[in-house]
């Protein structure tokens, strides 16, 4: 992530504010490798907790995509997600039920 020191401090504060909503210790760094993931969690926190809008966060994972480099099966994705959650210190918090993982098998979709 490339941000000015002032912006980085604002982002860090927003991420730290969201952490308890997902059962995370405040010492866990959310500005590193999984920043894009944590940024989306922070947005769910903003929408639900700060604005009272009944939103869900859906992560859509593509299965069977042979033209990209990455997990290709549901179990491979689930393991990658498990590793990310462990690295981020994600536990069970009040917003955890509003984060959903969906898997779409694109291998069965005909090229058009």
End-to-end alpha carbon distance in the chain? 36
Domain ranges of the chain: 5-108
Under 8 Å CB-to-CB from 96, ≥6 apart: which residues? Answer: 22, 23, 90
Helix (H, G, I), strand (E, B) or coil at 99: strand
Q: What are the tens digits of pLDDT across the range 64-104?
A: 988 888 899 999 999 999 999 999 999 999 999 999 999 99
When the pLDDT of each residue in the chain is averaged and rounded to a whole number, the result is: 92
DSSP secondary structure string for all residues of 25-50: -TTS--SSTTHHHHHHHHHHHIIIII
In the predicted model, is pLDDT for residue 56 greater than 90? yes
**What whole-number distance in Å separates Cα of residue 30 and Cα of residue 72?**
26
């Amino acid at each position: 992530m490339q941000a000015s020191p002032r912006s980085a401090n604002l982002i860090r504060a927003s991420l730290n504010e969201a952490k308890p909503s997902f059962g995370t210790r405040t010492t866990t760094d959310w500005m590193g490798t999984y920043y894009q993931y944590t940024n989306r969690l922070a947005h769910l926190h903003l929408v639900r907790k700060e604005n009272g809008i009944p939103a869900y966060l859906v992560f859509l994972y593509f299965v069977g995509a042979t033209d990209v480099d990455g997990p290709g099966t549901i179990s491979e994705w689930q393991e990658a997600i498990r590793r990310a959650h462990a690295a981020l210190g994600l536990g069970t918090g009040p917003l955890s039920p509003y984060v959903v993982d969906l898997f779409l098998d694109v291998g069965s979709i005909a090229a058009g």
